[in-house]
Amino acid sequence: MIVQSQVIITGHLEEAVEQLEQLKSTELFVEILSPSMATNLHKEGEATPYNVHRIATEKETFSVVDAKLAIEKAYMATEETMVIILVSKNFSPIVQNKLLKVIEEPPKNKEFILITESKSTLLDTIKSRLPVTVLSETKECEALALSMEQLSLETVYEFIQTHKRTDVKAMKPLIEQISKEAIISQKYNLDEKTLTLFSNAFIALDIGSPPIFVLNALLLKLLARKRR
């Protein structure tokens, strides 16, 4: 891991932030993250690291308002390098499009680092402008008991039945795996509209939608986007 403009993909968002802070030298860090992550990063009895400014978003999800704040910070004149670190479980397509111009043409002495859980929810325009670093996870993914190449109403129904009791924590990596295998299969019209399906699935889980409902909706919408 290095301190330069990039997207970091990891299931351990807070650990990634802490690792970057340990690598900091003379840079000024501006971290924009959720209230829960800001709380978890603040160790009782310890001060915030020198030259690190943490800003908690109003809600747990990263919004357009937060993107506007990041852009405002980017246009602040600074002598030292300012590293703007944006942390969210997922960034909606609207937020990514809002950040696109400043990422494409960053002001002088500004670096942008996005830390998120899923590569599949990133727009191609973001991935083409920022290098993507995927941090290895210790847990191996189990084989997905669903063929994305042979997806049908029958296989969707059977798969849904096996995951009626799957909770939110287990559903997120499952949806991540579905999105990866859908992309690898090349059987789907993977335009921006389709990629938004994956992003919306993570958002729905974060705001409390029933996991089985989110899974069912995602698979049926994917099925509609399958190439005939």
Examine the pLDDT at 75 and tell me if it is beyond 90. Answer: yes
Six-digit token pair at 50? 């020198």
Burial of 224 (0-12, 13-18, 19+ CB in 10 A): exposed
Domain check: are 164 and 75 in the same one? Answer: no
For the cut 80, the answer to whether the pLDDT of residue 142 exceeds it is no
- Please state the length of the chain: 228
Number of alpha carbons in the 13 Å side-chain half-sphere of residue 12: 10
**CA-to-CA distance for 202 and 223, rounded, in angstroms?**
18
- Residue 28 pairs with which residues in a beta bridge? 82
Does the residue 107 lie in any domain?
A: yes
Q: Which of 69, 101, 134 is the last residue of a domain?
A: 134
Are residue 182 and residue 121 in the same domain, yes or no? no
Tell me which amino acid residue 127 is. K
- In terms of residue numbers, what domain contains 211? 153-224
Domain count, the chain: 2
How far apart are the C-alpha atoms of 58 and 42, rounded to whole Å?
Answer: 17
Checking if the pLDDT of 140 tops 50, the result is: no
24, 72: one domain:
yes
Contacts of 24 (CB under 8 A, 6+ apart): 3, 49, 51, 52, 83
Element (H, E) at 56: strand 52-56
119 and 176 housed in the same domain: no
145 lies in a domain?
no
87 and 158 within one domain: no
CA distance 154 to 6: 41
Claim to verify: residue 184 and residue 125 sit in the same structural domain = no
- Range with the poorest average pLDDT among 63-72, 156-165, 192-201: 192-201
User: Residues 31, 111: one domain?
Assistant: yes
pLDDT of residue 58: 92
This prediction has a pTM of 0.65
- Residue 29, CB-side half-sphere exposure with 13 Å CA sphere: 28
The pLDDT value recorded for residue 45 is 66
Same domain for 18 and 105? Answer: yes
CA gap 205, 64 in Å, rounded: 19
Q: Report CA Rg, the chain.
A: 19
Tell whether 119 and 158 lie within a shared domain.
no
